[in-house]
Amino acid sequence: MKTRQDLREIVPELEYVDKFIIEMFQSRSDTIGSLKPFLVQMKGKKFRPALFLTCARMHHGRDLQSIIPIAVSLELIHTATLLHDDVLDNARLRRSRPTVNTLWGNQVAVLLGDYLFSRALTLLTTFGNLEIIELMVNVIEEMSIGEIQQQLEASNPDLTEEEYLERIKQKTAVFMASCCLAGCLASKTSMEIKSSVYKYGLNLGMAYQVIDDVLDFSGQEKNTGKDTCSDLKNGIITLPLIYTLQFSPIKDEIFSWIREQRLGESELFIILNEIKLQGGIEYSIKTAERYIDKALTCLEAIPTEDVQNGLKAVTRLVLRKVPII
């Protein structure tokens, strides 16, 4: 498959990211080590390490093995946010498996997330690139602000598209953009390329989150690995519903259900049907496609063809939301 072939240069490093994390748990006490099965279950799609490693290849002399700790730290930060998100959302499934909070409780899930954050920052500090450390600290801050804002906006059907887009920028897109920029900081690239790569990651991250929000309504649980309508059940308002509420003849009823958190199976069925009738899914998909087009346009400034091809390959996998390895 061409997509996999375009990423062949970073596959060994991505495989080592998994090994590094497993060995990290094995080296700890029995308490932490006993949670190792969670890591096997939580093997991610590796989008963020892949973006970082691909961008780092712009400097041909860059030894990717030497920057594996940074790639690991990015995956740890991402996994930590998922652990905390699952607690906030009362999620029972993640990637078709029981969540940590389901298996061991909210307290363990939160503390394990904190542990992964601390290990990520330790790895970044050990590597010693102050620009990358500052970048990732800012990422954690932005994601936290985005999550706080989301909680404050819960069950608010008046949320606008602009407010939604700003929230997903903070929660998702800034992290992906920063992974790309970190790759540039780990190699020798110009300010122009850094700017283009960051914008690529930002637009890719926006598309990624919009697609994820579409799948919450239109995807099947066996394919998405999580409960259908899980966001709406937790009061999280996303683009398909925001668009639908502008045109729905039963807008007042839906507003009332959301505000009163009265979302049983019958209400959810009616809302899902209304989203389909008003074109909320189609509008959201077109929005994601526009962000993808912007992302790919940003790649034109990158002079290294194999890096361009690698980022295009990651983009294709993001659209399909399938693992890289």
Predicted local distance difference test score (pLDDT) of residue 11: 85
Task: Return the bridge partners of 98, or none.
Answer: 93
Predicted local distance difference test score (pLDDT) of residue 300: 93
- Residues 298, 42: Cα–Cα separation, whole Å: 31
Token pair belonging to 277: 């009738």
List, for the chain, all residue ranges whose pLDDT scores fall below the cut of 50.
1
Token pair belonging to 10: 């970073």
Token pair belonging to 190: 């110009």
Instruction: Specify the length of the chain in residues.
Output: 325
Predicted local distance difference test score (pLDDT) of residue 26: 75
* 3-state secondary structure labels for all residues of 195-257: HHHHHHHHHHHHHHHHHHHHHHHHCCHHHHCCCCCHHHHCCCCCHHHHHHHCCCCCHHHHHHH
Task: Give the pLDDT confidence of 21-53 residue by residue, as tens digits.
Answer: 888 877 766 677 677 667 666 677 889 999 999
Predicted local distance difference test score (pLDDT) of residue 141: 96
All structural domains of the chain: 2-320 (1.10.600.10)
Task: Return the bridge partners of 94, or none.
Answer: 97
pTM of the predicted protein model: 0.92
